[in-house]
Amino acid sequence: MVQNKSLSPKEIVDQLDRYIIGQSKGKRAVAVALRNRYRRNKLPQEIRDEITPKNIILKGPTGVGKTEIARRLARLVGAPFVKVEATKYTEVGYVGRDVESMIRDLVEVAARMIRENKQGEVMQRAETVVEKKIIDAVVAEKKKMATDVPLDILRQQTMVEYKDGKLDNFTIEIEVADVKKPDMQMPMGMDMNIGIDIGNIFGGLMPRRTKRKSMTVAKAREMLVSEESERLIDKDAINAEAIQLAEENGIIFIDEIDKIASAGGGNGPEVSREGVQRDILPIVEGCTVQTKYGPIKTDYILFIAAGAFHISRIQDLIPELQGRFPIRVDLQSLTKDDFYKILTVPENALTKQYADLLRVDHVNLVFEDEALKMVAEIAEQENETSENLGARRLHHIMEVLLEEVSFNATGKKPMKTVTINQKFVKDNMANLMKKTDLKKYVL
Ligand SMILES: Nc1ncnc2c1ncn2[C@@H]1O[C@H](COP(=O)(O)OP(=O)(O)OP(=O)(O)O)[C@@H](O)[C@H]1O
Ligand SMILES: [Mg+2]
């Protein structure tokens, strides 16, 4: 079974702290919402039905961690996760029930998780079966060479050689499935989303065809193991488990929700925006959606919506939808202190990423604290004077900062140390700084 951890809200926040700086209100909100779903799930059916799930709206400017919080949360608890942009459904060509595609995508993600998990489980068994088949084939091949070694000894030798990988390039003949699928045309206009795999249906009805092929042991092993594990996996169980995983643990992140809220009446785009809200409503309220894995109930899926709400307000969403998102959290703009921490604290902090990348080319990057404080300050200033990109600004600045080093790293030994100090920042950021008004305070 796919891991299905039930962490307490505090444990969740502690884990999120490893990756996301600040935003403690946002982290608490998602942690509590997730735990509430778990609590609700443990209640008797009658009570459970009476408690409506509490979805969340994260409100805040760009690049402050809205998506990151939701994504990390999902990864932390092994929940299937999809992110959709609400505006996508206002585009031409999207009507009505296409909103349901977010649910189908979620089930698809869940199915992939289950499948990977199962593959891991059956791998050992598949390897054992395949090993026997291959040894048989190798022994058959060796016998052709008129050896007088007794059969049991020959098998034993072969087994040892096989385990040592000495037979990898030995050519054998084996039976493999003839994978040619019946060639069939999809009728035009058929909805590929509902996606029934015609090849599979007919493939299942037709007798399994095999053919003899000669190939190396290594290749045979690869093919047979994938064939065998495919056979060992119970497809119906995957479908059922995928539905269950998505139903009970799924998280859907609806981005740009503010863009489908309408400020003021009118027709035209307004109508379609409100239309999208009305389409989303039943999904958030709990309904049943058909997927190729079976029907799924959306009642327990956790929805996290996000938006900047610069132009529209949360109150501009239709009341029914607002009611389904009772938890509202304002995420804060990030300051230079946050930027400094973002550069250094998270396990995947940018400075660590660049250091890892350049170490491959034998460059040892050493970041001095003072230099990083300067970078943080530049980021804050750039966000104020030009566009506010939030933490995304750091990605840009770091790229500019290290462009030269990155370009000149050749991979030659020995390891060379490059220290990023304040002077380095000044020298390498000169171009960027000319454009803005930074000289006054850093240089
Ligand atoms: N508080 C934070 N702590 C650590 N990293 C952050 C933080 N906020 C943003 N980042 C980093 O900045 C990048 C953008 O963040 P994210 O995608 O969460 O922004 P967002 O709030 O969803 O913005 P948008 O409204 O544009 O979608 C990510 O790489 C993320 O790791
Ligand atoms: Mg985002």
Ligand 1 atom 16 nearest Cα: 65
Q: What pLDDT shows up at residue 135?
A: 93
Distance, CA of 282 to CA of 288 (rounded, Å): 9
Asked whether the predicted pLDDT for residue 355 surpasses 90, the reply is: yes
Percentage of residues of the chain with pLDDT beyond 90:
54
Q: Is 167 in the pocket of ligand 1 (CB under 6 A)?
A: no
Cβ–ligand 1 contact at 257 (below 6 Å): no
64 lines ligand 1 (CB under 6 A): yes
Q: Is the dihedral of CA 270, 272, 274, 277 positive or negative?
A: negative
Report whether pLDDT(204) > 70: no
pLDDT band at 73 (very low <50, low <70, confident <90, very high): very high
What ranges make up the beta strands (E) of 217-345? 251-255, 288-291, 294-297, 302-307, 327-330
R_g over Cα of the chain: 29
pLDDT at 93 over 70: no
* Ligand closest to CA 391: 1
Q: Are 20 and 69 in contact (CB under 8 A)?
A: yes
pLDDT digits (tens, 9 = 90+) for 209-245: 788 889 999 999 999 998 888 888 888 889 999 999 9
Burial of 177 (0-12, 13-18, 19+ CB in 10 A): middle
Lowest-confidence pick of 38-42, 335-339, 353-357, 394-398 = 38-42
**Percent of the chain whose predicted confidence (pLDDT) is above 70:** 86
Question: CA dist 414 to 178, 360, 361, 364, 424, Å?
Answer: 52, 12, 10, 10, 22
Q: Looking at residues 248-257, what average pLDDT do you find?
A: 94
Closest C-alpha residue for ligand 1 atom 1: 21
* Alpha carbon of 380 to ligand 1 centroid (Å): 15
Parallel/antiparallel/unpaired status of strands 251-255 and 81-85: parallel
pLDDT (average), residues 268-287: 83
**CA 246 vs CA 29, 81, 103, 266, 298: distances in Å:** 21, 9, 9, 38, 9
The contacts of residue 91 (CB under 8 Å, 6+ apart) are none
Average pLDDT over residues 400-409: 91
C-beta atoms surrounding 262 within 10 Å: 18
- Measured in residues, the chain has a length of 443
pLDDT exceeds cutoff 70 at 207:
no
Whether pLDDT at 271 is above 80: no
Contact by Cβ (8 Å): 78, 5: yes
Least trusted range by pLDDT, from 129-133, 201-205, 385-389: 201-205
Question: 318 — alpha (psi -120 to 50), left (phi > 0) or beta?
Answer: beta
307 Cα nearest atom in ligand 1: 25
- The verdict on the CB of residue 62 being under 6 Å from ligand 1 is yes
Q: What is the mean pLDDT of residues 105-110?
A: 97
- Ligand 2 center–CA 83 separation, angstroms: 9
The yes-or-no verdict on residue 374 having pLDDT over 80 is: yes
User: What's the mean per-residue pLDDT of the chain?
Assistant: 85
Residue recorded with tokens 């979620």? 106
Structure tokens at 123: 């791998």
Domains of the chain (ranges; CATH) run 9-108+241-330 (3.40.50.300), 121-236 (no CATH), 336-433 (1.10.8.60)
